[in-house]
Structure 1
Amino acid sequence: MSDRLLIADGNSNLRENLSNYLQKEGFTVDGASNFHQALNTYASYLHDLAIIEIELPDGDGIELASKIKTLNPKVKIILTTSYPSISTALKAIKIKVEDYLIKPFVFDEIRVSLSKLSVLHEKEEKQEKVYSFKEKEEILSIIGESVEIKLLFEKIKKIANTPTNVLLLGETGTGKELFARAIHESSYRKKKPFVAINCASLPENLLESELFGFIKGAFTGATSDKKGLLEIADCGTVFLDEIGDIPLSLQAKLLRVLEDREIRPLGSVISKKVDLRFISATNKDLIEAVKEGKFREDLFFRLNVITLSIPPLRERGRDIEILAYHFMRKFAIKMGKTLKKIDPRALKLLYKHPWPGNIRELQNVIEQAVVFCESDTIMPEDLPEYIQSPEKFLDRAKEIPVLSIEEYTKEFILKYQSIYTEQELAEMLGITRKALWEKRKKWGIPRSS
């Protein structure tokens, strides 16, 4: 059973105290204060356990439990209530929740209930003689049945319980953080922190203090000590996303952490020992960056002990359909809609699209389709215009099959930059605004006024 659970309760003190208690018991806990926040949080992580208050401030906890059961039939749910009644108990039984507790309760009652659910889960596992590959992937939030994904998952299982550093290579939007989390969750470090750091999102001075922390008085504004992310992640996993964007000055300091397993907060003269596994990711050619002097060769070899290449969506065959249905169910639940299928004509359009933004772009496309869908089936007209009519989008349909992803992306920007905002363009391509700026700079495309 997953060690991640959701607590949905309007009482902030109870929610926080119960969360702290369960974290000490080894669980990773996500909290939500109301119906809609809980549904959005659950749809993001698909927890295997949920503790839900019936009297939520903005909705019925039993209805929330029912929606969650629809999204994941295997979820185990404990309902809590301050106003017990036969009516609510019968409703709870009808949707097959696993336990029903009356407030106020002591936290040990929750622990005993969760222990029972663990025993129940073990019995279910014994009845299922063989885990299908698909089920194993879903536990780790990796959705797919293509040969490429199965081979990659086999590699993850082999390397997970080693301390070896891993470098993930892949295009923007391929889900590199998901694979990093899969490695962490499959390892002996899974009950320790997983800390994700985007090296491209913070300026150099702020990135250094975020990584290493600082002591009081280290610089103007440092009014108290602050732990860095590397110290917070001690005994766990550090995921360095966009590692190719880390400044050279910080590369030297990071190399020392990898070699000495020590960190030194800004302003301090005392080093601290840390036990960390590093997983890095980039969509850049680091070998070329080394040649150009933009990335340290010694750091590259330290990080690049094992390399895993994440395949782009266009190379994952039928995973496009599997992922499309996954996102359809996710967004239908979040938007309170009942969607059953995707029309074959719409699926055909999805298969034809080259997906320069990969999984992130597909998720955006399906979210839009769910918004516009007025029946129980996603139709071609529910999809974005550039998916429906690629020939209108490029004005040269015959050339579409031979366009490279880079050419396609360039055409997309040139065609639509006068229509959409920077943020909208980036989201449609499934990339960040920074990545969009870099592509403009690379191709010499000025922003339209």
Structure 2
Amino acid sequence: MSRSNADILLVEDDSSLAALLAEELELDGYRVRQAADLTAAMQQADQAVPDLVVSDLRLPDGDGLGLLTRLQSAGHSVPFVIITAFGTVDQAVDALKAGADDFLTKPLSTDHLRLKIRRLLAQADIRRQLAEIRGRADGDDSLGLLGDSPAMARLRSEIRRVARSDAAVLVAGESGTGKELVARAIHRCSDRHDRPFVAVNCAGIPSDLMESEFFGHEPGAFTGARQARKGLFAEADGGTLLLDEIGEMPMALQAKLLRVLQEGQIKPVGADREEPVDVRVLAATHVDLLEAVAEGRFREDLYYRLETLTLPVPPLRERGDDVELLAMHFLRTAARRQERGPMQLSEVASRVLKDYPFPGNVRELGSAMERAVTFCDGDTVLPEHLPDRIRRRQAVIDTDQTLDGAPGNLAQWPTLDQYQRQYVERVLTAVEGNKRRAAQVLGINRRTLYRWLDDGKPT
């Protein structure tokens, strides 16, 4: 259900007020059904459960909260707004205790009511999405990897296949695609799921300490080695070891890793004998290892040992509508971390995100949503809250499309102000002069739009 086509049940016995509210809500794109009393409202709700209810508290044949109770008893969690001309603190408390989401008193501010409705519908939408995500996760369908695109469906299928094996796996993909999440999903699907999962970034360990970090050491093995220390392979014994950025591993250590893969034995630094380990090795990289082999930076025999089971992780630009789903996930997470209420993406911000190629992939999208929550004062993220690089990209796309019809002589090209003014005029024409809708399409508030129109050009 999108915000523009929600089904609202309006229960109000004042016919003139009901007509005014219905007109305002329909202008916002909602479908409005009306009822003048409790009986008619219950009949309407029984025929089709609404997405949201706006109900007067005092009705000719009962209390508006009776409809709320009816919906709750039928198992429907519907956003519910109570309005009344007899507003008191006690009534507000009673309504909220009964499960109403808000309480407004007459005379009503229609702008205030519309804002409440948008927020409540956005919150309901987020709750529904989260319930779907949790449901898929509970059914072990998503493997902890969000996304409904064909690319992600293929990836989940491949994860389940390689999880049945005990051989090494190479997880390949661009930076920020979530390779560690994929590795964790492989571990969870495997017979080793109840054993340790240890992840290490090979690029983050000094080369002179790598052998000790991986294989451990005996007391006195080198200066400062006062006591024995278990290495990462010993810590992961029985489980899974993820070697992230394996292309950064020194050649000497690559030879020792190959021996572990072949023999299942490790030799701590300073030890006289090898020790057996039972570890499944997963390797991850964002570089072309075959190219590294050609350049002499990676062992060919180790490469072929790893590449037998290669799992490519798709970049975000190949995941279609997953961008919006992931953006909402990161938006919710960032809002909760910053102790904000539920938030949503404007239509224009959503389109801007979909048009951006995200070279930094999922990690870049997460950072963009964190910034958006930080700079957004309201509950709706607009393009102006997104990072500059994302907005600039959209501006280039829009300009390229517009310039297709520009004169060949550069001196005849219109100025940026003229393009902006023409665009605003085209939007106003498309929405038949509805400035509220125009502001939504432009991704600005109405006050800014009125200032632009008064000044004669966007500023």
Q: Normalised by the size of structure 2, how large is the TM-score?
A: 0.56
Distance 1:238 1:215 in 2: 22
Shift of 1:138: 7.6
Contact 2:137–2:143 under 8 Å retained in 1: no
The amino acid across from 2:266 in the alignment is: I
Of the three residues 354, 360, 363, the one matched with 1:360 is 363
Match of 1:339 in 2: 342
Which residue, 151, 157, 160 being the options, matches 1:157?
160
Match of 1:257 in 2: 260
Shift of 1:173: 0.4
The residue that corresponds to 2:315 in the other structure is 312
Q: CA deviation at 1:291?
A: 1.8
Q: Tell me, yes or no, if the aligned pair for 2:356 and 2:394 is still in contact at 8 Å.
A: no
- Which blocks of at least 5 consecutive residues in structure 2 are unaligned? 1-96, 98-130, 404-459
Provide Cα deviations, 1:146-185, integer angstroms capped at 9, x if missing partner: 0000111011112212202111111000000000000001
Q: Does 2:330 align with 1:327?
A: yes
Equivalent residues of 1:339, 1:375 under 8 A apart: no
Aligned-residue RMSD, C-alpha: 2.5
Question: How far apart are 1:198 and its partner, in Å?
Answer: 0.7
Assess, with a 3 A threshold, how the Cα gap between structure 1 residues 203 and 244 changes in structure 2: closer, same or farther: same
Return the alpha-carbon distance in structure 2 between the equivalents of residues 253 and 366 of structure 1.
42
1:199 matched to which residue of 2? 202
The one-letter amino acid paired with 1:310 is V
Partner of 1:267: 270
Larger deviation, residues 309-318 vs 291-300: 291-300
- Counterpart position of 1:4: none
Q: How far apart are 1:343 and its partner, in Å?
A: 0.5
CA contact (8 A) 1:170 1:176 kept: yes
Residue 145 and residue 375 in structure 1: after superposition, are their counterparts in 2 closer, same or farther (change >3 A)? same
The reply to whether residue 390 of structure 1 matches residue 393 of structure 2 is yes
| Equivalences for residues 409-448 of structure 1 within 5 A | none
318 and 137 in structure 1: CA distance in 2 versus 1, 3 angstrom threshold: farther
Matched, 1:146 2:139: no
Alpha-carbon separation, structure 2, partners of 1:399 and 1:185 = 50
* SS at 1:223 equivalent: coil
Query: Which residue of the partner structure matches residue 82 of structure 1?
Result: none
Q: 2:305: which partner in 1?
A: 302
Bigger radius of gyration? 2
1: CA distance, partners of 2:397 / 2:324? 25
Match of 2:179 among 170, 176, 181: 176
- Whole-angstrom CA distance in 2 between matches of 1:219 and 1:393: 58
Alignment of 1:205-220 (within 5 A): 205-220=208-223
SS across alignment from 1:258: helix
* TM-score (norm. length: structure 1): 0.57
Alignment of 1:65-144 (within 5 A): 136=139, 140-144=143-147
**Structure 1, unaligned stretches of length 5 or more?**
1-93, 95-127, 401-449
Query: 1:392 Cα deviation (Å)?
Result: 6.7
Give the Cα separation in 2 of the matches to 1:231 and 1:389.
49
Contact 1:168–1:310 under 8 Å retained in 2: yes
Superposition deviation, residue 135 in structure 1: 5.5
Rounded Cα–Cα distance in structure 2 between residues aligned with 1:381 and 1:373: 9
Hey, what's the Cα distance between the residues in 1 that align with 2:356 and 2:136? Answer: 27
2:127 match? none
Does the C-alpha gap of structure 1 residues 350 and 136 become closer, same or farther in structure 2, counting only changes over 3 Å? farther
Is the 1:390–1:397 contact (alpha carbons within 8 Å) kept by the matching residues of 2? no
Deviation at 1:395, TM superposition (A): 12
TM-aligned CA distance change 1:266 to 1:364, over 3 Å: same
Contact 2:335 2:343 in 1 (8 A): no
SS at 1:189 equivalent: coil
In the other structure, the counterpart of 1:369 is: 372
Aligned length: 272
- CA shift at 1:133, angstroms? 5.1
Question: Which of 161, 186, 191 lines up with 1:188 in the alignment?
Answer: 191
SS at match of 2:203: coil
Residue 397 (structure 1) shift: 5.3
* C-alpha separation in 1, matches of 2:331 and 2:161: 32
Q: Would you say the 8 A contact 1:168–1:280 is kept in 2? A: yes
Which moves more between the two structures, 379-388 or 319-328?
Answer: 379-388
